[in-house]
Copies of this chain bind each other. A is one copy, B any other.
Amino acid sequence: MHRIRVGIVGYGNLGKGAAQAVDAAPDMQLKAIFSRRDPDKLRDTGEIDRNVAILSIEAADKMAGDIDVMLLCGGSATDLPEQGPYFAKLFNTVDSYDNHAKIPEYMAVVDAVAKKTTAIISTGWDPGLFSMMRVLFESSLPNGKSYTFWGEGVSQGHSDAIRRIKGVKLAAQYTIPIEKAVTAVRSGQKPIFTAREKHKRDCFVVCEPDADKAKIAETITNMPHYFAEFDTKVTFIDEEEFAKKHSKMPHGGMVLRSGSTSDNKQHMEFSLKLESNPEFTGSLMVAYARAASRLSKEGLYGAKTVFDVPLSYLSVTDRDTLIKELL
């Protein structure tokens, strides 16, 4: 079997998760890791301890014939807007671009260069699996209302926002769905919620010595968009406790649809409970790498989304076996 040759761009938490997922895929092989950082240093320091080519991003064009799909594991704020079109011009790509408001714009830029390549954007779980459920649920049950809850889990964006406050050394912010709201949706009431009624926020913060804790707590709870619209709890802890209890990246959430046909209530629900958000996202990107490779072989070029990919394209198992065993 010709194994799909995979490259990974960016070796942070997501890149590491993706690399593990490639290892676990019998139909793939990891060919190279690309980084903005100095490849020699990454190897010498042992930060990348795999027996795989480590290359600078600028060297990517030399690998055009050697890699079937490139997994873009950078962030959505600054990495992907640049790396998405750069790589999609040369390679089939999969990314997890997650700035919901800017997806159409990002997609257009990637699509414009993906003339002979397939670029699947915004995979992962939200956007990604949750988006798929929203479309599937709405199509299955047109008369209804959909809800998305996130958590319980660590939000990187909110943790970052806390870390930017003067005097804060470490921070982890947990987004927590409010059980009463979930119960109300399940009962079929189709409630309309404020932000505060759906989620609460729990923050664990380690301060620099002599920091003004009262002021930090006030700055957090009053921060507009991030915290002011939610019930937010701030707990100050020491570094040791932080390392022990808050260094993992759990997450999850659920998509629910409460609807009806004639006078009958119908309810659909999808949920995730993840101990490692980046490892799960990396695993999903690998499933979509399989799809990107196949779509590209079929000449279906351009920017694609999770809405465009038949489910059988994600599986390592052939279609006949899927139909026999899982249909």
Contacts and interface: CB of A to CB of B under 8 A. Distances in A.
A26 B314 CA distance: 32
Interface stretch (A38-46, A50-58, A127-135, A221-229): A127-135
A14 interface: no
Interface in A249-287: 252, 261-262, 264-276, 279-280, 282-284, 287
A107 B323 contact: yes
Contact of A262 (B20, B270, B327): B20
Which has the most chain B C-beta neighbours within 10 Å: A100, A142, A316? A142
A24 interface: yes
Interface in A101-123: 103-104, 107, 122
Given A135-B326, A138-B315, A327-B100, A309 B307 contact: no
Contacts of A234: none
A140 B283 contact: yes
A305 interface: yes
A327 B274 contact: no
Given A21-B261, A327-B127, A311 B279 contact: no
A143 B316 CA distance: 13
Contacts of A316: 139, 142
Given A274-B266, A305-B323, A323-B307, A287 B131 contact: no
Contacts of A282: 261
B322 A135 contact: yes
A17 B326 CA distance: 26
Given A104-B320, A140-B280, A310 B312 contact: no
Chain B CB within 10 Å — which of A122, A140, A252, A273 has the most? A140
A48 interface: no
A136 to B, nearest CB: 6
A141 interface: yes
Interface string A238-252: 000000000010001
A261 to B, nearest CB: 4
Contact of A280 (B129, B138, B141, B287): B141
A262 B279 contact: yes
A25 interface: yes
Contacts of A319: 307-308
8 A-B pairs with least C-beta separation? A264-B275, A261-B279, A264-B276, A139-B314, A307-B312, A267-B273, A139-B287, A134-B326
